[in-house]
């Protein structure tokens, strides 16, 4: 029999007609790649969800219930769902480290108020506003401010009046760890905002937080789910090294579940540069936030969601100009200028700029990869589009081969066999890769078919007669980053 049936038995004598179905030729074109975005972060004790259990999150309200209102994860999902409601998002929640210490800060009020007005306090970029009446004492203003902070369940801080100084509001982060140190405290962020006459507020920045959870615990329960984007609030060396080891293992040829980690780091230009120069991974990208009022974990959530949304549609398209909707820019005098941001891009730190509407926008989404194994500059993985496009290339090749040749026999080129036989040869695979390349070329992901065709090598493995080896050199489409013109004008 020339035709290779999958299910029809040869040992049937009962009449009459038997028809089986085979879907190996049903799918044409480039395959659609599903995107799952994983968020790792801390939950509060009052959250009803269990720690270290991958959980699909469909709304910000669900995250608040599972992780606790005012938790880090709840804030991350508020930002994520505001940026895009359609992406499939998951969470692995972490409990506080048993050795962790919560960050603290304070507000010292002075008065009394000479005139009526309002106090505009921004906690992590979120406004807490109270009314002040002429004659209000510093103690009464402090009490009102503490009550307003505690009344806002989304606040990451708990406020209490100092037991010794009644005009002082003591602030404590709801969770433990160094991340709490990055909660920004400031007054009068927007133009026109001012304290009432006679009122003063001395701010002690959040500090003293230590002991973040071990992200290795989250890695251990990730299993074999394919997370194409992982958003992490932790940027310390130990946690990023643990995550990078898992990402590199997934990137390899045996697991083939590539993903990119998204993070954000807060600090001065020098601190951010130092942080970037200590990292070197093509599967991690980190946005430098500078002195933005917005916490880094919100930046990471916005960045990861916007990147995943764009790369899932087109892995080669640049992200520049995409808005980070939940992120506030630093004050004008604190924003990094072009030369400073350019330095960060060479240091492996992704950057944002501020558009005419005052919105933070992705400027360039570089990875932390900078140098090769010898410590020499290596731009091969400069932008995240390179690993993203390579990941899709591998996915498309795997999908094509496994879909069209799932149970085929392997023969040498030139073998004579019937047209209905489930047999594949190196030449058949070679031609199939040509077809796939052309399809990906139409999708704007690869270029230079002639060079690909000339270099493509498909051969039967000399030591294993059941294996086909392929050497392919796809030329990936690049991003339009710069336009340069020399204008030699004529008078």
Confidence label for 1 from pLDDT (cuts 50, 70 and 90): low
Alpha-carbon Rg of the chain, whole angstroms?
Answer: 28
Do residues 280 and 371 make contact, with C-beta atoms less than 8 angstroms apart? yes
Whole-structure pTM value = 0.96
Res 328: pLDDT = 99
| C-alpha to C-alpha distance for 479 and 335, rounded to whole angstroms | 26
How far is the CA of 185 from the CAs of 86, 171, 192, 203, 410, in angstroms?
33, 10, 18, 7, 67
Which CATH architecture describes the domain 102-207?
A: Alpha-Beta Complex (3.90)
| Burial class (CB within 10 angstroms; exposed 0-12, middle 13-18, buried 19+) of 481 | exposed
| C-alpha to C-alpha distance for 304 and 301, rounded to whole angstroms | 5
φ/ψ (deg, to 5) at 420: -90, 0
pLDDT tens digits for 71-106? 999 999 999 999 999 999 999 999 999 999 999 999
Do residues 43 and 67 make contact, with C-beta atoms less than 8 angstroms apart? yes
Taking phi first (over 0 means left), then psi (-120 to 50 degrees means alpha), and beta for anything else, what does residue 277 get? alpha
Domain boundaries, the chain: 1-30+406-491, 36-95+213-387, 102-207
Confidence label for 9 from pLDDT (cuts 50, 70 and 90): confident
Average pLDDT, the chain: 97
pLDDT tens digits for 168-211? 999 999 999 999 999 999 999 999 999 999 999 999 999 999 99
- Report CA 238 to chain centroid distance, whole Å: 19
Q: Look at strands 409-410 and 423-424 and give their pairing.
A: parallel
pLDDT tens digits for 396-452? 999 999 999 999 999 999 999 998 899 999 999 999 999 999 999 999 999 999 999
Do residues 82 and 326 make contact, with C-beta atoms less than 8 angstroms apart? yes
pLDDT tens digits for 442-490? 999 999 999 999 999 999 999 999 999 999 999 999 999 999 999 999 9
Q: Look at strands 126-132 and 409-410 and give their pairing.
A: unpaired
């Amino acid at each position: 029999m020339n035709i290779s049936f999958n299910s029809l038995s040869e040992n049937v004598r009962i009449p009459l007609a038997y028809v089986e179905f085979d879907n190996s030729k049903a799918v044409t074109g480039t395959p659609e790649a599903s995107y799952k975005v994983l968020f790792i972060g801390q939950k509060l004790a009052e959250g009803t969800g269990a720690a270290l259990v991958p959980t699909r999150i469909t709304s910000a309200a669900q995250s608040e219930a599972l992780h606790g209102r005012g938790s880090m994860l709840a804030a991350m999902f508020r930002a994520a769902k505001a940026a895009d409601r359609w992406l499939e998002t998951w969470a692995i929640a972490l409990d506080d480290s048993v050795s962790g210490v919560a960050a603290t800060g304070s507000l010292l009020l002075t008065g009394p108020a000479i005139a009526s007005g309002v106090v505009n306090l921004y906690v992590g970029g979120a406004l807490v506003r109270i009314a002040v009446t002429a004659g209000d004492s510093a103690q009464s203003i402090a009490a009102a401010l503490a009550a307003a902070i505690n009344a806002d369940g989304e606040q990451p801080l708990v406020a209490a009046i100092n037991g010794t100084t009644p005009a002082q509001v003591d602030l404590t982060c709801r969770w433990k760890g160094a991340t709490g140190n990055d909660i920004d405290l400031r007054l009068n962020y927007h133009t026109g905002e001012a304290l009432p006459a006679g009122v003063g507020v001395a701010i002690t920045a959040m500090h003293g937080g230590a002991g973040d959870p071990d992200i290795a615990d989250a890695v251990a329960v990730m299993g074999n789910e394919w997370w194409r984007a992982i958003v992490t609030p932790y940027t310390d060396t130990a946690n990023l090294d643990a995550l990078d080891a898992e990402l590199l293992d997934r990137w390899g040829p045996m697991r083939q579940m590539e993903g990119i980690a998204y993070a954000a780091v807060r600090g001065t230009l020098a601190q951010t540069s130092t942080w970037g120069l200590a990292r070197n991974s093509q599967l991690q990208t980190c946005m430098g936030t500078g002195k933005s009022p917005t916490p880094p974990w919100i930046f990471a959530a916005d960045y990861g969601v916007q990147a995943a949304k764009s790369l899932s549609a087109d892995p080669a398209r640049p992200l520049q100009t995409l808005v980070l909707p939940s992120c506030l820019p630093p004050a004008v005098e604190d924003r990094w200028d072009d030369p400073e941001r350019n330095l960060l891009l060479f240091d492996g730190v992704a950057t944002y700029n501020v558009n005419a509407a005052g919105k933070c926008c992705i400027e360039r989404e570089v990875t932390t990869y900078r140098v090769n194994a010898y410590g020499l500059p290596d731009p091969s993985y400069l932008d995240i589009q390179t690993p993203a496009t390579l990941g899709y290339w591998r996915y498309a090749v795997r999908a094509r081969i496994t879909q069209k040749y799932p149970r085929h026999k392997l023969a040498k080129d030139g073998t004579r066999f019937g047209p209905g036989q489930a047999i594949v040869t190196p030449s058949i695979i070679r031609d199939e890769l040509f077809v796939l390349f052309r399809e990906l070329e139409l999708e704007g992901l690869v270029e230079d078919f002639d060079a690909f065709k000339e270099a493509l090598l498909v051969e039967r493995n000399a030591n294993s007669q059941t294996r086909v080896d392929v050497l392919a050199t796809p030329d990936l489409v690049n991003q339009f980053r710069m336009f340069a013109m020399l204008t030699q004008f004529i008078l």
